[in-house]
Amino acid sequence: MHSRFDTFREQALGRQLEALIDTPQRYVEYAALSRAEVPAVAAIVHDVRQLFPELEADAGARQFCGAMVAEVMRRHHHEVLRPRGRVPGGYFTYGVVWTATPQQLDWAQRLEALRAMPAQLAAALRAIPAADWRRRPDGIDFAAVEHACHLRDLDRIFCQRVARVLTEDMPEIASVDGTEMSRELAYLEQDGAAALDDFLAGRRHLLAALAGAEPAQRGRLCLFGGERRMSLEDLAEDMLQHDRAHLLEVEELTAELGGEPA
């Protein structure tokens, strides 16, 4: 889930919504709706309307709900079938339509998905007029230029993480606050086209580092965020889910800017 939700998740309303959304029974409902090609978030519309009427005027809380549902679906290895589908029942106009069944990827398939993503992102961002690259509509966390800069810098960090996992015993890997990075590094003032080009080039270095890992090395561990043990395979999955989250956010940004997703 995007770092912009970390603080909200710790608040009372965030905890209450997470308790509603992240349960085994809810996942059953999400999966059933996915088989019907209906956005999974539709499963919570009735309860949100009944139990959380204040969400009608709180776009940020509604976005948290969508992100929380997405976290559950990714955890169960569902893939995005369509980034935007109509949600019946009100409260949520659009939601992600997920694959009907989990799609567990092997190592080679993960690397191929990581290889394909930069071109997908470039096509989506280049569909946004240059004059809009610094626009951040209400309820949107990143402008187009911030997506390009963030992904460029995160790939550099991921490269460092991979190198440490391959050479150190259980290295401690710090988490990253992308929103704070954007402020500190003034992403909105940077050259978005140059950042996108750097991301496209940098991804090749990251893929080379991952492709060079032998099967036995993929099980090497790190301690992520001080509490979660992750293997190199887990890190690759984390990179992939990070990619997909940003692709969905760019789709949302494009829609908010009044265009059509690429």
User: Could you read off the pLDDT of 102-112 as tens digits, one per residue?
Assistant: 988 899 999 99
The answer to whether the beta carbons of residues 244 and 80 sit under 8 Å apart is: yes
Which two three-digit tokens encode residue 43? Answer: 């499963």
| Residue given tokens 């440490």 in the structure block | 164
Residue 84: strand, helix, or coil: strand
Higher pLDDT among residues 59 and 114, named by residue: 114
Record the tokens describing residue 262, joined without a space: 């690429």
Q: What percentage of the chain exceeds 70 in pLDDT? A: 97
SS3 (DSSP) at 85: strand
Does the CA dihedral 237-239-240-244 come out positive or negative? positive
Q: Are 174 and 227 in contact (CB under 8 A)?
A: no
Q: What is the per-residue pLDDT for 259?
A: 53
Where does the chain show beta strands of DSSP type E? 80-86, 94-98, 172-173, 221-224, 228-231
Q: What average pLDDT score do residues 190-219 get? A: 94
